[in-house]
Amino acid sequence: MSATSSNVLALERVPSRIPGLDVLLGGGFFRSGVYIVQGHPGSGKTILANQLCYRHAADGGRAVYVTLLAESHSRMLQHIRGLSFFDESVIPNGLSYISAFHDLETEGLKGLMSVLRREMRARNVSVLVLDGLVAAAEAAETDGALKKFIHEVQTSAVFHGCTVFLLTSGSMQRVNAEHTMVDGLIELEDRLYDARAERTIQVRKFRGAGPLRGKHAFRITDDGLEVFPRIEALYGQPAEPAPLDGTTSTGVPSLDALLSAGGLPRASATVVIGSTGTGKTSLALHYLSRSSTDAPGLMFGFFESPARLRMKATALGLDLRTPEAEGALRFTWLPQGEYVLDELAHRLLATVREQGTRRLVIDGLSGFFEASTHPERTGRFFSCLVNELRRLGACVLMTLETRDVVSSVVSTPYGVSAFVDNLLYLRFVEHCGQVKRLLTVTKMRDSDFDPGLHEMVITAAGLSVAGRYTADGDVIPSASPVDANASPSRPGLPT
């Protein structure tokens, strides 16, 4: 009788409980599957395998960690003892460590297989790790002998309902015999980008499901591994955005008056572009000052600490302490360091979901740009990130600094203007021995606006739009934004 869709049982998943990894795999590993975890020494294989075993034991399962040519068990435990997933109480009932090197050395692959079968049967384990597949491969007289060993491991895994992980060093430069037989192949890598290092994980093979393809960043911290699936892979399919009905005030009534809708469309994305000192952060603080329990606000910034921002808000006559005290306003400050691009995005999205953020400020898009080791993916990254933020109902205000202090041409790196709905341009203008701040609304998607030049004033009473600016004499004219990848100047316009 042939199998049909009605009588074929779905494969049961075994979650790794490693943050981000199960998302990468689409729900976890498959029970009774055999998986190779491959990478050069120091790439994180041993920590990944131990973290998986301890998490599995914490869920009530049983695991065994079998070593061949590896560090001693006492040394391994000393190294992982400081990690948060380590729990000595699960040893030896929930997790056992054994060495099978002597059996391999004296009896070859046959002796090693006997040990694995014995452990699966006697301990009734549901997860088994074999650390040192390279030693087993070296003990195999032929490729055929190694294939037979892998086949026997698979047969025993299915019979005992045990998920097996085979750890080995090396890379995928050469496809080995064992690669063709296992159910999955995961590669860990630690690469240098100039002076900076970044770890990546790639699921090269995964029978039974479609994992997120390509390389994804991960970190090793005191909590173990944390994987950050690439944003454009995770959110590559456009999601249905939140309704755009209604508007969100910018916090500056005179600016709202320039916009035909009376504010920014809800669940939209706005970039405020300008050089240092033009008022980008001041505008962002006005925007956040309207945060409430019905419309919670979040400042996600890289350059100014929450204490400095509170002081700046007070100097502008803005009250941020009240919404903060009510839990309607949060500050997330990430002082510049070696962040992972997708790590920043996942942290932002997690906070937006948790808080139900409606007013979101990303103060300093360059903080994201500088975290990227692959600048060519930044446009796709931001497009997918902004789409997901819109779907979550956040009205996003982002600031982006330009290099020019006085200019009529604004650069939008990596096609920023293409994935945002609204674009505000702030700049200085020199006129009659004075420097004035100007604001121009250069883009409002699906909404009318006043595109003229407007003088912007910042006083102790806050930020306001003073009115239309008319220039007499030698004044830099207005111009539309251009993309950073285009020519840096146009004929007839100053650079």
- The per-residue pLDDT of the chain, averaged, comes to 87
Buried/exposed 372-398: b ≥16 CB within 10 Å, e otherwise: bbeeebbbbbbbbbbbbbbebbbbbbb
Note the pLDDT of residue 175.
55
pLDDT value at 494 more than 90: no
The candidate with the shortest Cα–Cα distance to 435, out of 448, 445, 426, is: 426
Q: Token pair for residue 161?
A: 């309902």
Least confident of 28-37, 39-48, 486-495: 486-495
Note the pLDDT of residue 172.
56
Domains of the chain are 13-229 (3.40.50.300), 247-483 (3.40.50.300)
pLDDT band (50, 70, 90) for residue 180 = confident
Cβ atoms of 19 and 226 closer than 8 Å: yes
How many CB atoms sit inside 10 A of residue 174's CB? Answer: 7
User: Mean pLDDT, to the nearest integer, of 138-151?
Assistant: 90
The candidate with the shortest Cα–Cα distance to 341, out of 234, 211, 205, is: 234
Note the pLDDT of residue 52.
97
Q: Token pair for residue 16?
A: 């790794």
pLDDT value at 7 more than 60: no
pLDDT value at 71 more than 80: no
pLDDT tens-digit map of 385-416: 999 999 999 999 999 988 665 555 555 655 77
Least confident of 34-48, 218-232, 271-285, 479-493: 479-493
pLDDT band (50, 70, 90) for residue 64 = very high
Note the pLDDT of residue 486.
38
User: Mean pLDDT, to the nearest integer, of 469-493?
Assistant: 41
User: Mean pLDDT, to the nearest integer, of 21-36?
Assistant: 96
User: Mean pLDDT, to the nearest integer, of 76-91?
Assistant: 94
pLDDT value at 334 more than 90: yes
Note the pLDDT of residue 225.
97
User: Mean pLDDT, to the nearest integer, of 285-289?
Assistant: 97
How distant, in Å, are the alpha carbons of 137, 173, 386 from that of 216? 28, 19, 19
pLDDT tens-digit map of 95-139: 999 999 999 999 999 999 999 999 999 989 999 999 999 899 889
pLDDT value at 485 more than 90: no
pLDDT band (50, 70, 90) for residue 1 = very low
User: Mean pLDDT, to the nearest integer, of 308-334?
Assistant: 96
User: Mean pLDDT, to the nearest integer, of 210-238?
Assistant: 94
Note the pLDDT of residue 481.
39
Note the pLDDT of residue 488.
35
